[in-house]
Amino acid sequence: MSWEGGLRAELVPYFRWIVQVIQYYDRTARVSSGYRSGAEQALLYRRFQQGLMPGPVAPPGYSYHEYGRAIDVLASEQALAAAGAQWQALGGQWGGNFRGAGKYDPIHFQA
């Protein structure tokens, strides 16, 4: 299944665009996560709590991934920061801007 599956249809063009922007800065960039079911989010959250994966990971019911409104992109920090600024300029939220809340998550883009 494509990373676009389960995302809100009206947001897919914007997510495609931000992925292209990130790939402009880092040709190796790839989407690692899009939509997640509540069960998938619960599993990730448990693994995070057990120290088996890096975070942050939102508890089930609190992740924009569960509502088809977020993607995670693996790329260089410089590419993510440059794209994050552009995403925010369009009104999106970028996880690299969550530093103060202890939720620094530069791979996370949500609408």
67 contacts 11 by C-beta, under 8 angstroms: no
CATH code at 66?
3.30.1380.10
pLDDT tens-digit readout, 9-39: 999 999 999 999 999 999 999 999 999 999 9
**What is d(CA 22, CA 74) in angstroms, rounded to the nearest whole number?**
9
Whether 49 has a pLDDT exceeding 70, the answer reads yes
Domain-located, residue 2: no
Domain-located, residue 72: yes
Q: Which pTM value belongs to this model?
A: 0.92
Domain-located, residue 30: yes
Whether 101 has a pLDDT exceeding 60, the answer reads no
Mean pLDDT of the chain: 93
Q: Say how many domains are in the chain.
A: 1
Domain-located, residue 89: yes
Domain-located, residue 3: no
| Structural element, H or E, at residue 40 | helix 38-49
Domain boundaries, position 54: 9-110
Whether 76 has a pLDDT exceeding 60, the answer reads yes
Domain-located, residue 1: no
Q: Which residues pair with 31 in a beta bridge?
A: 73
Domain-located, residue 66: yes
